[in-house]
Amino acid sequence: MLLKLVVFLVKVKLILASTPIIIPEGEDLTRINATTSEWLSRTCGITDERNGRRYPWAVSILYFGENKLGGTIISPYHILTAAHGFVKFSNYMYIYETFSRTSCVIWRLRTKKDLDLRMVAYGGDCINEESQSQGCAHPHMMFNRIKAVLLDFDFATGHCVNGHDWAIIEVENPIKFDANIRPICLPKPMQEIETKLTVAGWGRIFGRKDNRIRGIPLKYAPKCLIPFPDTRPKNVPDYLCAKPLNYVNLCHGHSGAGLVQSDSQNRSTIVGLTSFGSKGCPADETTVFTKVSIYLHEICYFTGVCYSL
């Protein structure tokens, strides 16, 4: 009984001190060493489209073969994604639908068993056999299990309106890089956001399921104007906003996918993580992303990917 109380108090303290939570409990993330981090800084964000894929860092988190969440490879072990994919809400089934009416209430975190039912898919453009057979340029998918997830619990304790929607997935087997599978670059601490941005993922397009990866062009929206009567706060320090460039918007299944910009050398950097959109995913509305540069110290501390600091 006393032990249970102590454990509970420790948990409360951890939550108050905004320590990220790791699922399963007691697991630690693998930290890469300085040599590997330095090597990543030289090789990240480069694509070889003649021999490989256009978005080699994009992953799909599958649940019984269906895309549920996007993510982005940052090291042989680590994938950046959104925290809301690993929290179960009691009043908040679809993050793209109910947000404007009510803020979220947590039911529970995902369990080890929930993680075991998911697969990380990468290396190919098409996530199921049907789309693979319809002339997919890069049909071959690799699959990996989730060893652990670290998530910023302030997202959930803040009722999903105070930001902090970020998480790190560690895969069970280290990812081997080739022309189809590559890590993206982390931003600098004061990274300027470019006007032209892209999210690549397997989310719905105009409400329809899409089993093929698509790059959705977006434009940076520094003012972050969220439509009435949407109640999302606009002044959260880790928010970053973007709007569709040509009426194709993000929707269910794009959550967690990276918001990416390209520099003059065509190297790609992840600047945001897809967090919220408006109900019904209207074609011209703002999407809110978690700004990655705010969490570089946490990412470095837990993964060893430290080159951008």
- Candidates 8-16, 28-36, 85-93, 177-185 — which segment interacts with ligand NAG by CB under 6 A? 28-36
Among 33, 51, 176, 237, binds ligand NAG (CB under 6 A): 33
Among 19, 36, 103, 162, binds ligand NAG (CB under 6 A): 36
Nearer to ligand NAG, 295 or 307 (CB): 307
Shortest approach of ligand NAG to residue 284 CB, angstroms? 26
- d(C-alpha 159, C-alpha 92), whole Å: 10
Among 35, 50, 192, 207, binds ligand NAG (CB under 6 A): 35
Per this entry, what is the length of the chain? 309
**Using rule CB under 6 A, residue 265 touches ligand NAG:** yes
**Using rule CB under 6 A, residue 266 touches ligand NAG:** yes
- d(C-alpha 9, C-alpha 7), whole Å: 6
Shortest approach of ligand NAG to residue 152 CB, angstroms? 27
- d(C-alpha 262, C-alpha 143), whole Å: 27
> 303 near 290, Cβ under 8 Å?
no
Shortest approach of ligand NAG to residue 34 CB, angstroms? 7
Nearer to ligand NAG, 174 or 227 (CB): 174
Give the gyration radius of the chain's Cα atoms: 18
> 254 near 211, Cβ under 8 Å?
no
- Candidates 30-38, 92-100, 164-172, 236-244 — which segment interacts with ligand NAG by CB under 6 A? 30-38
Shortest approach of ligand NAG to residue 51 CB, angstroms? 14
Q: How many chain residues interact with ligand NAG (CB under 6 A)?
A: 5
Nearer to ligand NAG, 24 or 215 (CB): 215
Shortest approach of ligand NAG to residue 30 CB, angstroms? 9
Shortest approach of ligand NAG to residue 262 CB, angstroms? 7
- 52: closest CA among 178, 137, 179? 179
**Using rule CB under 6 A, residue 235 touches ligand NAG:** no
Shortest approach of ligand NAG to residue 36 CB, angstroms? 5
Q: DSSP for 204-256, please give it.
A: -BTTB---B-EEEEEEE-TT--PPTT----S--TTEEEEEESSS----TT-TT
Q: Residue 143 forms beta bridges with which residues?
A: 121
Tokens at 15, concatenated = 């939550």
Tokens at 178, concatenated = 């080739």
CB atoms within 10 A of CB 53: 23
- d(C-alpha 291, C-alpha 295), whole Å: 8
Nearer to ligand NAG, 36 or 41 (CB): 36
Residues in touch with ligand NAG (CB under 6 A): 33, 35-36, 265-266
